[in-house]
Each structure stands twice: as C-alpha cells, then as structure tokens.
Amino acid sequence: MKTVNTAKEVRTRVERWRCHGRTIGFVPTMGALHEGHISLIQAARRACDRVVVSIFVNPKQFIPNEDFGNYPRDIKRDSRIAAAEKVDLLFAPSVDEMYPEGFDTRVRVSDRLTETLCGLSRPNHFSGVAVIVAKLLILVHPHKAYFGQKDFQQTLIVQQLARDLNLDCEIEVQPTVREADGLAKSSRNGYLSEEERRAAPIVYQALKLAEGILQVGERNPRDMIEAVNKRLRSESLIEIEYVAVKNANTLEDLNVLTGRVLTAVAVRLGRTRLIDNIIVEVPSGS
C-alpha cells in the first residue's frame, strides 16, 4: 500500500490507473477506522480494481465546541488496518493541503436535505461535508465511492452533490455495522463511559421497536414517534435530540407511514452524540 499526502500525488496515481482501464473504488474517512469502515473497504475491494482510502479529519464539518480537537487520530493504526484490507492507496492530507491559506469557497446542497435532522443542531456541518466530499471526489475521481448508512442524511446529500456537480461517481451506501448488542459502530463510541456504553444499545432497540410498529400496521407517524421517544426515555442517561420519521428518498415529512420510511434518532449520552437510523419499506395500501 502506498501512502500519499498531496492532492497532486493522489490524482496522478489514480489517473494512471484510469487510463489503464482500472476501476477505482474510494472510501473517504476521518480515520479511527472501525468495522464500519472496513465493510466499506471490502465492498470497494469486491467491486473495483483499485481501492483508495482517504483519512482526513475535516475541520469544516465540525461546528464550534464540537470534538474536532479530540477526534481520535492514529494514522499508524489506520495504515495497518488499511494495508491488511489490501487498500492500494492511502491519501492522508494535512489541513493545509486541503484548505490552503485563503481558501474561501462554500458548497451547499439542497436545503430540503440539509436543513433537517442533524442539520438543525449542527449548522454548517453539511456544508463542510459537501465541500470536502466535492474536493475529494474531484481529485480522486473514483468510479464508485462508499458511505455507511449510519450517516444516512449524509448519503442523500452526497448523492445529490455527485449528480449536481457532474462528479461522475456512483455513491454506494453500505449497511450499518453494529456491535453484538446493536450499537452502531462509530469512532465516537470510544468517548462513552462504561455506564454510558451499557445504556447505548437503547438507541437501536428503539429503532427496532419502530420497525416492529410499522410491521404490525401502524400508519400514523405521530404515534410511532411517541412510542420511540417513550422507549428512549426509559433510559435515564439518554438525552434525546430528535426522533424523526421521514420519506427516506426526500427527507420530507410523512402524513402516512408508507413507502420507504426512515426512522432516525440523535441522542446524547453524557457529552457524546450518537445517531442511528433504520429504513423500512412499507408497501402502499398495506
């Protein structure tokens, strides 16, 4: 595995592969690689001739007072993991490489997709995501890029971005990888105290409750949201940020629970923010 730190180097190497007819799979990450990232790398490995992984803790997607400074960084450990997964090229740029002095361009995707769910409590977070994903997809120019369903809102935004800016890349969304007790894998799980960690699976349990409620025929969004909230409130350490039910294609509100139904949750456990979601297909008229 080769590691490069500059936009120019990654571009040159990938262009050479493309010109030789190789397909390129790309997994953009903020490092602190866990089994969720590994499943993305493995999906890229299965589908593409060459796999590129980026590791960049993107300051623009953290809002003030978030954990940018404390976000886990261990490039040596991440490199070992990437190499073991047969990644061909690791791109680990500095902040100055991605945002040189004088950088001053913003990319904003659809308010409909960004001004809801996590966008409400994290203003400018998705602008930060959009600009770094645009830059990475422009300079890596992969055939396919891989994202995890845990950040479902992000995947819709990135799909819209890729279409709108002609980024010439299929956005592949892979299922959320979970701990044995259901907690979604996340680089931020390491922030949890033992007590908080024991409480954390309530989030997935509440989402499975939503799924069950849909499966037994509930079609009223308010009743379902209330049931999910109630389950979450049964865990006293949990502070609920939102419980939302949306059309999973558009993030629009639903009057009736039908079609691709997204149930999404954001909570705080102590100082740690956790998100998770589940999508259920409800046949219309069922």
Which residue ranges make up the site for a copy of itself (CB under 8 A)?
7, 11, 15, 18-19, 100, 102-113, 130, 134-135, 138-139, 160-161, 163-168
Tokens of 123: 């203003």
Q: Is 37 a catalytic residue?
A: yes
The active-site residue out of 34, 37, 141, 143 is 37
Yes or no: say if 275 and 187 are a contact pair by the CB < 8 Å rule: no
Task: Work out how close the CB of 140 gets to a copy of itself at its nearest, in angstroms, rounded to a whole number.
Answer: 10
Task: Work out how close the CB of 55 gets to a copy of itself at its nearest, in angstroms, rounded to a whole number.
Answer: 17
C-alpha span between 40 and 241 (Å, rounded): 28
C-alpha span between 109 and 251 (Å, rounded): 13
Q: What is the dihedral of CA 57, 60, 65, 70, to 10 degrees?
A: 10
Tokens of 189: 């799980």
Yes or no: say if 131 and 103 are a contact pair by the CB < 8 Å rule: no
Yes or no: say if 265 and 245 are a contact pair by the CB < 8 Å rule: no
HSE value, Cβ hemisphere, 13 Å, CA-based, for 28: 28
Task: Work out how close the CB of 145 gets to a copy of itself at its nearest, in angstroms, rounded to a whole number.
Answer: 15
Task: Work out how close the CB of 250 gets to a copy of itself at its nearest, in angstroms, rounded to a whole number.
Answer: 10
- Active site residues per annotation: 37
